[in-house]
Structure 1
């Protein structure tokens, strides 16, 4: 998962905004859930018009998997489900009305590969202050990690097998751990092809780290400009892998941190 500053999303043109306002009014005036859902279904192309703008924010990568193709072609995910919402932790009433008033709200859009979007479906568990009707949503305490929240992105980590897991230990940070576990499960973030892609990226990164360490040792014994340039050349490969345009940079970062090398931490701070 990568942090996305969605305040930088290109503003839709006035025609789109006017259409969204008209449709929101129709949703508000609908006399039944069925009528609302029909309006949503008939106008599903509206949010798809913004896909290119969402892709621009992430250089074409899915915001959750940080890949372009492994997790399949991107959908626009309504972070808060539009027609109905399923809360697995509410045993008495797991199915609830959706956040229909956010259907045409661009702040509710996330770019998600089809694998994750299909798995996510209507799932949206809320621990406290669930909003059941149009109104402020800022007080909701929800389970899904959100790529538009910088601190949420930090709650996931990776290992050398390409497995994604909570970065927080369950015993010390139970709520963060639970949110990470929920997100991994209901976005299928350990989807086999995706996990394999991360494993290969970790392997590629490890090979370069070992080469940098080898060249560091040579440079320390013989500090020539030639040896220094060889070492920097390998580091530059890692810098390139950390570029926002590249896939799976979070995996590269995790691998560098796991190396325990001081130079790797400094490279991450650049």
Structure 2
């Protein structure tokens, strides 16, 4: 999971889309019957499938799922409502309230997802303190503390790391020590977003192995160039370093794993110190 600055980006290209969203929100607020509100939402579901909106959201993540960081391929991207629009359930799948219907057409509540995370998450939305749930518009949702980690929250995105097996785990070097609540959030999010899916783990592991192999090859050639003044080895080391720099492009898949892979190897850490800028840490 990598941070997506949804709340900070310029959305002026979505002016027409936003105008329609405002009209739909007014329609929802004018309707007192919960069932009729659901009809309005369902009848206008194509609004959050608008190609311009999807293209905008794809660009924010380099055409990758906001949860898994896997590239979108032939499958249709899912527009996931972080706060469920029609029903909110706790960690035991018990219904807590009728959902955040007033956020059905709010771009700030959208997360672009592969089918698996959206399906596994469903209408789960547990809170640390259930009595703090916002059930009506007009009350700030900032009072809520969700159990699910949010890719649009920078602090949340930093909590998950990856190991050499491609498996998700708690961040090894958090800015602040993790407490029990942090670990509960990490474990629940890994499960509900499917971050521990075996196919995903295998892809991430293969990437880790490939990058580590390049680190070793770079070290071997750089050492030979230094000790033997071998021009050929110096050229190889330079080329490998160039290839490694491509992995730091934020549009690469699995950038969070790549970050942890670089930080786990002496060559990777050394390259950072030499000015190998980390795009997402700028």
Q: Same fold (TM over 0.5)?
A: yes
Query: What is the CA–CA distance in structure 2 between the aligned matches of 1:78 and 1:9, rounded to whole Å?
Result: 20
Q: Give the drift of 1:31.
A: 2.5
Match of 1:35 in 2: 36
Query: What is the CA–CA distance in structure 1 between the aligned matches of 2:76 and 2:205, rounded to whole Å?
Result: 21
| 1:246 equivalenced with 2:252 (yes/no) | yes
**Which deviations, in whole Å up to 9, do the C-alpha atoms of 1:12-51 show, x marking residues without a partner?**
5443223212211121122222111111111111011111
**More displaced stretch, 247-256 vs 9-18:** 9-18
**Which deviations, in whole Å up to 9, do the C-alpha atoms of 1:171-223 show, x marking residues without a partner?**
95222221111111111111222121111111111111111121232133135
Give the one of 155, 170, 191 matched to 2:197. Answer: 191
Alignment CA distance shift 1:211-1:33 (3 Å) = same
Match of 2:170 in 1: 166
Alignment of 1:1-270 (within 5 A): 1-6=1-6, 7-8=8-9, 10-49=11-50, 50-69=53-72, 72-88=75-91, 94-128=95-129, 129-134=132-137, 135-167=139-171, 172-223=178-229, 226-261=232-267, 262-266=269-273, 267=276, 269=278
Displacement over 6 Å in runs of 4+: none
SS in 2 for 1:246: coil
Q: Give the drift of 1:247.
A: 1.0
8 A contact 1:4–1:147 mirrored in 2: yes
Structure 1 residues without counterparts, runs of 5 or longer: none
- How many pairs align? 268
8 A contact 1:65–1:71 mirrored in 2: no
**More displaced stretch, 225-234 vs 29-38:** 225-234
8 A contact 1:77–1:112 mirrored in 2: yes
8 A contact 2:224–2:230 mirrored in 1: no
Q: Give the drift of 1:140.
A: 1.4
Aligned Cα RMSD in Å?
2.5
Q: Normalising by structure 2, report the TM-score.
A: 0.86
